[in-house]
């Protein structure tokens, strides 16, 4: 199956072991599926850190429509966005390794009206902050659901006149969406108005933005990827344009993810068959220029922990100047890499070559 999404199951808060289960969703097949895989302790690690031994399929279930997005809500539940406009919560029963549909919001997204049989609009993105789930779609609509409630808690009907491609939480009451005309918009659910509280946009050609991720510790830093393969870094505290635009892929960038616990590392994947690892974690002691570059004095760092000061590498005028290493983790891939996810030392990604890859020693 062509894999459209791959996601690690989140680890319990105190867990020290690497992740062991991931879910995948497929697209463009007669019969699309949600599957749960175990990487367990099978096989050995090869010379260059690839994981030898195949992930084991634990269970799968049919999914109506293409899987457009997928997020774990908690250890057991997975929220899936469909090209039919429906949002479904699947439950993984670990005692007998089965999947079942736990809850469904039929046609959460639609073009004409919810009741016509053919009026569904693709749900393009979902994001979870248990128990809350936000979905966005081709119809420019934003829905806020609660996992245990039948109806949407809030719907912003004409949030956008263009397609919304992706969404992320900035904080518990605020989300950020990206659309097909190069705009980022911030929405505050505490406000009753159905207007964004802030709008940012790419200057010049309004290139569609396909993906977005927020820096895990510094919530004002956001990364987006677009149709032209460029990586944009934004500081939502200032200005309305990106802080930096980085030449990345040769074709659409499908996903961008900061490493959840090492956000100096960022990962992007693309239609061009590549998956890039961006590393800004250059050692300060070795690169004194890092402290003085651009006339900034070292006092800039004194009231910050070193780890956070390094983060400013994402916000410098030219992050690539002697402080960023970029590695293509797939040297000779040909078909689109549609999805990636990272947790601890483990990377999983899925491609149109009907293959799933796991690398369990990212930082080896």
The CATH architecture annotation of domain 3-43+51-281+308-359 reads 7 Propeller (2.130)
Tens of pLDDT, residues 171-212: 999 999 999 999 999 999 999 889 999 999 988 778 999 999
Tens of pLDDT, residues 231-256: 999 999 988 899 989 999 999 999 99
Q: Is the pLDDT of residue 115 over 90?
A: no
Q: Which letter does DSSP use for residue 312 in this model?
A: G
pLDDT score at 227? 96
d(CA 50, CA 346): 10
pLDDT score at 333? 74
Mean pLDDT of 130-153: 95
Could you please report the per-residue DSSP string of 172-223?
TTEEEEEETTSEEEEEETTS-SSS-SEEEE-SSS-PPEEEEEE-SS-TTEEE
Q: Which residues pair with 223 in a beta bridge?
A: 213, 233
Tens of pLDDT, residues 259-299: 999 999 999 999 999 999 999 887 543 433 333 333 332 32
Cα 320–Cα 324–Cα 329 angle in degrees, nearest 5: 115
pLDDT score at 50? 55
- Name the pLDDT band for 308 (thresholds 50, 70, 90): very low
Q: Which residues pair with 266 in a beta bridge?
A: 258, 278
Percentage of the residues of the chain whose pLDDT score is greater than 90: 67
Could you please report the per-residue DSSP string of 91-160?
EEETTTTEEEEEEEETTSSBSS-TTSTT-B--EEEEEEETTEEEEEETTS-EEEEETT-SS-SEEETTS-
- Name the pLDDT band for 118 (thresholds 50, 70, 90): low
d(CA 157, CA 91): 29
Between 71-80, 261-270, 307-316, the lowest mean confidence (pLDDT) is in 307-316
Burial group, residue 214, by CB count within 10 angstroms (0-12, 13-18, 19+): buried
Q: Is the pLDDT of residue 45 over 60?
A: no
Cα 356–Cα 270–Cα 280 angle in degrees, nearest 5: 100
Domain boundaries, the chain: 3-43+51-281+308-359
Q: Is the pLDDT of residue 310 over 60?
A: no
CA contacts within 13 A on the Cβ side of 83: 13
pTM of the predicted protein model: 0.87
- Name the pLDDT band for 54 (thresholds 50, 70, 90): confident
pLDDT score at 289? 34
pLDDT score at 314? 81
The residue among 349 and 115 whose pLDDT is bigger is 349
Provide the mean pLDDT of the chain: 86
d(CA 343, CA 32): 25
Q: Is the pLDDT of residue 309 over 50?
A: no
CA atoms 189, 149, 37, 334: torsion sign: negative
Q: Show the tokens assigned to 221.
A: 């830093």
């Amino acid at each position: 199956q062509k894999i459209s999404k791959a996601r690690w199951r989140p680890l319990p808060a105190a867990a020290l072991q690497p992740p062991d289960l991931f879910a995948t969703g497929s697209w463009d097949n007669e019969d699309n599926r949600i599957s749960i895989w175990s990487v367990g302790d099978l096989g050995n690690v090869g010379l260059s850190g690839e994981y030898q031994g195949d992930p084991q399929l634990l269970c799968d279930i049919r999914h109506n429509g293409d899987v457009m997005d997928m997020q774990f809500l908690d250890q057991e539940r997975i929220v899936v966005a469909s090209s039919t406009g429906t949002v479904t919560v699947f439950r993984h029963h670990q005692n007998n390794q089965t999947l079942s549909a736990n809850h469904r919001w039929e046609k959460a997204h639609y073009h004409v009206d919810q009741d016509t049989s053919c009026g569904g609009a693709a749900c393009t993105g979902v994001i979870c902050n248990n128990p809350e789930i936000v979905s966005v779609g081709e119809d420019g609509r934003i829905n806020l659901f609660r996992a245990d409630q039948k109806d949407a808690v809030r719907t912003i009907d004409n949030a956008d006149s263009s397609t919304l491609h992706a969404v992320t939480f900035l904080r518990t009451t605020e989300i950020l969406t990206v659309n097909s005309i190069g705009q980022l918009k911030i929405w505050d659910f505490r406000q009753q108005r159905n207007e964004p509280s802030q709008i940012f946009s790419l200057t010049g050609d309004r290139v569609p933005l396909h993906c977005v991720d927020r820096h895990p510790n510094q919530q004002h830093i956001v990364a987006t990827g677009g149709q032209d393969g460029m990586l944009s870094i934004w500081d939502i505290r200032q200005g309305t344009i990106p802080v930096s635009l980085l030449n990345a892929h040769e074709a659409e960038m499908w996903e961008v993810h900061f490493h959840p616990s090492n956000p100096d590392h960022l990962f992007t994947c693309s239609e061009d068959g590549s998956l890039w690892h961006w590393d800004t974690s250059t050692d300060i002691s070795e690169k004194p220029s890092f402290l003085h570059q651009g006339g900034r004095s070292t006092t800039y760092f004194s009231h910050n922990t070193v780890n956070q000061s390094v983060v400013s590498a994402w916000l410098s005028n030219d992050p690539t100047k002697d402080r960023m290493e970029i590695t293509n983790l797939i040297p000779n891939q040909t078909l689109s890499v549609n999805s990636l996810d990272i947790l601890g030392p483990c990377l999983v990604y899925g491609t149109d070559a009907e293959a799933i890859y796991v690398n369990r020693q990212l930082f080896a």
